[in-house]
């Protein structure tokens, strides 16, 4: 005991601030994330220098409209809307916080081709071009880091990359889209879809068009990056089974309530018989489970590594500040390239059997006809809605059932923990 205390005291006395290296940073994008990053760099100068040995020198800031007021303190003479001028700036690191493909892809390719380090929050870009960009980085002896692209402030990729030692997960699942979760929890509390979306936009969690969030495409891009990190499968090659919450997410909330559960948009990638399967879907979870208790813009991820319980990470999954914090931590560790080693192949189909809730508009007869061995069917008192539980069906089986019910506006949702 005393020797431990003695060692700590000696180490503290011997500790010296690291030498400070100047890092020239060119920032593409100064919106919610980019401006939060500049505020963080400004507020944390002392810690960056004293603890991490970095002094950030901002060399250029690319935006669309240079005349717009920015919510950060910096030399506005650095602003440009000209991509060529931006790329010509001196920089050791380029941080891309624009989003979308163009000019983000051009900037990323030019950055890596010039052997500069690239840090990006752009999951769309990485899900489509991740392998090509990391190959380009390798060819030019530089690195691309993108922890901010998944989980906002929740360091999911870092957890998978660095916290598991030599062990690998068998499955990773979680709530990866803060906007969809915000909307679902507002609907649970009685808001309409329009009210929930308006509130999400006012809070800065949702863009004008939230369809990529609600139909699962955004979470699909993120789970592809998670699968890349966890299992080494190229994100462009992974096919993600995706079930949308649209057009009526409130129907999933009501269906979950009918069977005493909550609905969450859950993304998952898992190894089944040695192959990788990935999905994004409305999952019916126990209200008291960690997924069920994740509210508002929260993200929650569970990594299954064969321990008694999964390794979990939770926190704000959206918003400028949490995302900027992840970019800053990438900047601090920009010298190390994350490893991506292929250890598994992508599966052609998910043949596992689950329990599902199936709901239709109208009375029970259509369900009896469409569902093989249909069990108990419930109908609301006005006979406007009927639902049943389908046991031991694969995702393909349940798609067939939904196809047979198409005239009755079916929705289907998998029940969590129901693998059979």
Ligand X SMILES: NC(=O)c1ccc[n+]([C@@H]2O[C@H](COP(=O)([O-])OP(=O)(O)OC[C@H]3O[C@@H](n4cnc5c(N)ncnc54)[C@H](OP(=O)(O)O)[C@@H]3O)[C@@H](O)[C@H]2O)c1
Q: Which residues bind ligand X (CB under 6 A)?
A: 29-34, 62-65, 68, 81, 97-99, 103, 121-122, 148, 152, 318-320, 323
d(CA 71, CA 417): 45
Are 278 and 223 contacting, i.e. CB atoms less than 8 angstroms apart?
Answer: yes
Are 155 and 220 contacting, i.e. CB atoms less than 8 angstroms apart?
Answer: no
Instruction: Select from 397, 409, 403, 350 the least CA-distant residue to 372.
Output: 397
Task: Give 205 or 252: the residue with its C-beta nearer to ligand X.
Answer: 205
Beta bridge partners of 393: 354
Spatial CB neighbours of 6, under 8 Å, sequence gap ≥ 6: none
Work out how close the CB of 85 gets to ligand X at its nearest, in angstroms, rounded to a whole number.
Answer: 11
d(CA 222, CA 172): 12
Task: Give 152 or 310: the residue with its C-beta nearer to ligand X.
Answer: 152
Work out how close the CB of 209 gets to ligand X at its nearest, in angstroms, rounded to a whole number.
Answer: 12
Work out how close the CB of 251 gets to ligand X at its nearest, in angstroms, rounded to a whole number.
Answer: 27
Are 326 and 152 contacting, i.e. CB atoms less than 8 angstroms apart?
Answer: yes
Number of other CB atoms surrounding residue 209 within 10 Å = 9
Task: Give 148 or 277: the residue with its C-beta nearer to ligand X.
Answer: 148
For 246-263, give the DSSP string.
-S-HHHHHHHHHHTTEEE
Work out how close the CB of 112 gets to ligand X at its nearest, in angstroms, rounded to a whole number.
Answer: 17
Task: Give 186 or 217: the residue with its C-beta nearer to ligand X.
Answer: 217
Work out how close the CB of 416 gets to ligand X at its nearest, in angstroms, rounded to a whole number.
Answer: 26
Strand (E) or helix (H) holding 10: helix 2-14
Tokens 């009375």 label which residue? 363
Work out how close the CB of 97 gets to ligand X at its nearest, in angstroms, rounded to a whole number.
Answer: 4
Work out how close the CB of 297 gets to ligand X at its nearest, in angstroms, rounded to a whole number.
Answer: 8
Are 28 and 86 contacting, i.e. CB atoms less than 8 angstroms apart?
Answer: yes
Work out how close the CB of 16 gets to ligand X at its nearest, in angstroms, rounded to a whole number.
Answer: 36
Which residue's Cβ has the minimum distance to ligand X?
31
Enter the tokens of residue 77: 């003479």
Task: Give 160 or 415: the residue with its C-beta nearer to ligand X.
Answer: 160
For 60-91, give the DSSP string.
EEE-S-TTS--SS-S-GGGEE--HHHHHHS--
d(CA 289, CA 301): 12
Q: How far is CA 80 from CA 84, 87, 89, 402, in A?
A: 10, 11, 11, 52
Task: Give 223 or 367: the residue with its C-beta nearer to ligand X.
Answer: 223
Are 345 and 272 contacting, i.e. CB atoms less than 8 angstroms apart?
Answer: no
Angle at 48 between CA 47 and CA 50, to 5 degrees: 60
d(CA 176, CA 174): 6
Work out how close the CB of 287 gets to ligand X at its nearest, in angstroms, rounded to a whole number.
Answer: 27
């Amino acid at each position: 005991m005393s020797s431990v205390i003695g060692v700590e005291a000696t180490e503290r006395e011997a500790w010296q601030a690291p030498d400070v290296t100047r890092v020239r940073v060119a920032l593409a994008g100064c919106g919610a994330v980019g401006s939060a990053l500049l505020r963080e760099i400004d507020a944390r100068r002392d810690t960056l220098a004293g603890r991490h040995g970095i002094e950030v020198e901002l060399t250029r800031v690319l935006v669309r409209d240079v005349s717009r007021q920015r919510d950060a303190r910096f030399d506005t003479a650095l602003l440009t809307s000209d991509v060529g001028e931006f790329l010509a700036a001196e920089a050791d690191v380029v941080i891309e916080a624009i989003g979308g493909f163009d000019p983000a892809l051009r900037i990323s390719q030019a950055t890596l081709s010039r052997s500069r380090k690239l840090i990006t929050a752009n999951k769309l870009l990485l899900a489509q071009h991740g392998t090509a960009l990391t190959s380009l980085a390798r060819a030019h002896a530089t690195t691309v880091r993108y922890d901010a692209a998944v989980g906002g402030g929740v360091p999911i990729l870092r957890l998978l990359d660095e916290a598991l030692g030599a062990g690998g997960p068998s499955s990773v699942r979680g709530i990866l889209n803060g906007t969809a979760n915000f909307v679902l929890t507002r609907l649970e509390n009685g808001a309409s879809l329009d009210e929930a979306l308006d509130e999400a936009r006012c809070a800065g969690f949702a863009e004008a068009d939230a369809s990529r969030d609600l139909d699962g495409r955004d979470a699909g891009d993120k789970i592809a990056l998670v699968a890349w990190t966890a299992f080494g499968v190229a994100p462009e090659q992974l096919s993600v089974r995706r079930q949308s919450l649209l057009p009526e997410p409130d129907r999933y909330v009501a269906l979950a309530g009918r069977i005493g559960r909550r609905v969450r948009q859950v993304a998952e990638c898992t190894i089944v018989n040695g192959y990788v399967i990935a999905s994004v879907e409305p999952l019916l979870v126990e209200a008291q489970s960690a997924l069920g208790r994740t509210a508002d813009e929260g993200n929650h991820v569970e990594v299954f590594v064969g321990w008694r319980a999964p390794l979990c990470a939770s926190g704000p999954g959206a918003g400028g500040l949490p995302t900027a914090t992840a970019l800053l931590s990438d900047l601090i560790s920009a010298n190390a390239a994350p490893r991506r080693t292929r250890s598994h192949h992508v599966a052609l189909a998910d043949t596992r059997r689950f329990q599902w809730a199936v709901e239709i508009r109208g009375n029970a007869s259509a369900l009896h006809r469409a569902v093989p061995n249909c069990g108990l069917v419930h109908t609301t008192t006005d006979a406007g809605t009927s639902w049943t539980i389908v046991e031991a069906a694969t995702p393909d089986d349940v798609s067939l059932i939904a196809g047979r019910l198409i005239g009755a506006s079916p929705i289907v949702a998998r029940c969590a923990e129901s693998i059979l």
